[in-house]
Amino acid sequence: MRSDRAKIGVDRAPHRSLMKASGYTDWEIERPWIGVVNAYNMIIPGHVHLKRIVEAVKAGVYAAGGLPIEFPVIGVCDGIAMNHVGMKYSLPSREVIMDSIEIMTQGHALDALVMVTNCDKIIPGMAMAAAYLNIPSIVVSGGPMLAGLHNGRDIDLSTVFETVGKRMAGTVSDEELLEIENAACPGCGSCAGMFTANTMNCMMEALGIGLPGNGTIPAVYSERDRLAKDAGRKIMELVERNIKPRDILTREAFENAIAVDLALGGSTNTTLHLPAIAHWAGLELPLDLFNSIGERVPHLCSMSPAGSHHIQDLYRAGGVQAVMARLAGGGLLHENCLTVTGKTVKDNLKGVWVKDETVIRPLETPYHKQGGLAFVKGSLAPLGGIVKQSAVAPEMLVHTGPARCFNSEEEAYAAIQAQAIQDGDVVVIRYEGPKGGPGMREMLSPTSALAGMGKDKTVALVTDGRFSGATRGAAIGHVSPEAAAGGPIALVRDGDLIRVDIPAKKLDLLVDEAELERRRAELKPYVQPVESLFLNRYRRSVTSGTTGAVME
């Protein structure tokens, strides 16, 4: 065992003495050392209950003969960080989480990891650590929040953001906004739609490094505690059989995850996080895969923000495993992939069936024939950009309009608040990429405000930043190269025509090349200024959004 280097032999008496100072007995020290990573904090609603989940994991580890050793990691709540400088820290926190897990694991010679997480960057940060360290590992979600209820309909956090837009437009009162604010998030868990947190928890299950049920069992259900106990027991089996993350995280497993993502209509942020996890597993995951797989895999689930269903509905319909069973039935999955159950995908899916076909549609009658995400390229995005095509109004799938350019989210949001954006416009928000921002901010506030005003059906938005999984509309993010790297998005001027053609996977700036070359010669280097040693270090080493925004 790896932990032997810290506990076996005469010269390790001081090490054992320190363990005994923590209350561990000789017979406990002899057990495998299982790191239990706890992302608990008191501000993220998806994490406020993780002490309970961690205790269940530790009980499972201990019952199966391991020594659970708990340690913490940080986390950012993207909703609370939204639309201010705090969001610059969210994506960079992913790398800090990965690095801190490496430090704790290597510094203390841990044998395996159970990583308890729930929200946007914490989930991929933990999965990246698992892929890089390559010791037996399981990711355990804290589970989704239940949807709120207002006037007889289910609502969630995206409802609040969009109601702000309605309030700006004068179509709702302060009193109704307050009612929705109070009702939308009724308790602990990751926000109830198919936003980034829940999408990534589903991806852990689809990849095979989370147990079946990981993505959809609600946070407040006792079944979530039972899954955590099972994860604690299962990690001991993985240690015994020496099953490591890279045995599970194969190219085929990532193709399975993309297929599930496209069927669910998941967050655009998966196109950042799946390539980043693959990178640390020693694989390349080109974003063209989202298109090639999406041509075969239909969009089967209409989840919030694009549809009316929430994660609790998907759970009742059979969860991620039911989606996988449906895809497998059409020959759309690699069924021989190994998972943390110790069994293959095919074995896990035995006896699994779809319990509600209004939530998980048949392959023959999908919501859309192509998957929920599209990777677009063109003269405005030579390296590509990403859009949640399942959340785009049909009339905006193809759109040509004049650019309205802004060099920060704040500038764009102020114009939207002032109702200065006209029908037909293409809002361009630049210098918000990984380097330019820095930190590639999510921009739910501008997109939600436009949607709340009803302009998601008349206005497109293009950015080198990114969007929340709660975004809907013709919002194309991750445009690369980013403006700070001299990409064409830096050359756009007000009034330039931009053509969005999502079915053709195209995003073009309709300005002739000679004019663009003239502008390029005049372009002065620019990044958003920040007073942060950490963020300035990050911007110097981070890569493009199309390669997962990993750090070199």
Containing H/E element for 93?
Answer: helix 90-107
Containing H/E element for 38?
Answer: strand 33-38
Q: Residue 478 corresponds to which amino acid?
A: H
83 and 55 Cβ atoms separated by less than 8 Å: no
Beta bridge partners of 190: 144
Distance linking the first and last C-alpha atoms of the chain: 31
32 and 4 Cβ atoms separated by less than 8 Å: no
CA–CA distance from 299 to each of 272, 307, 328, 371, 493 (Å)?
Answer: 20, 12, 15, 5, 36
Which pair of structure tokens corresponds to residue 431?
């210098």
In the 8-state DSSP scheme, what is residue 511?
A: S
* Other Cβ atoms within 10 Å of 288 Cβ, number: 12
* Other Cβ atoms within 10 Å of 49 Cβ, number: 19
Beta bridge partners of 154: 149
233 and 179 Cβ atoms separated by less than 8 Å: no
The span from the CA of 156 to the CA of 45, in Å, is 13
454 and 141 Cβ atoms separated by less than 8 Å: no
303 and 265 Cβ atoms separated by less than 8 Å: yes
Beta bridge partners of 303: 309
φ/ψ bin of 440: left (φ > 0), alpha (ψ from -120 to 50), beta (otherwise): left
Dihedral sign, CA of 334, 335, 337, 339? Answer: positive
Catalytic residue among 137, 445, 468, 544: 468
295 and 258 Cβ atoms separated by less than 8 Å: no
Which one, of 90, 371, 392, 55, lies nearest residue 229 by Cα? 55
Rg (CA), the chain: 23
The span from the CA of 296 to the CA of 480, in Å, is 26
The span from the CA of 184 to the CA of 535, in Å, is 33
510 and 496 Cβ atoms separated by less than 8 Å: yes
Beta bridge partners of 137: 113
Catalytic (active site) residue 544: no
The span from the CA of 104 to the CA of 417, in Å, is 46
The span from the CA of 516 to the CA of 519, in Å, is 5
Q: What three-state secondary structure class fits 26?
A: helix
**H helices present in 48-156, as ranges:** 50-63, 78-81, 90-107, 122-133
Beta bridge partners of 115: 37, 139
Count Cα neighbours of 286 within 13 Å in the Cβ-side half-sphere: 7
Active site residues: 468
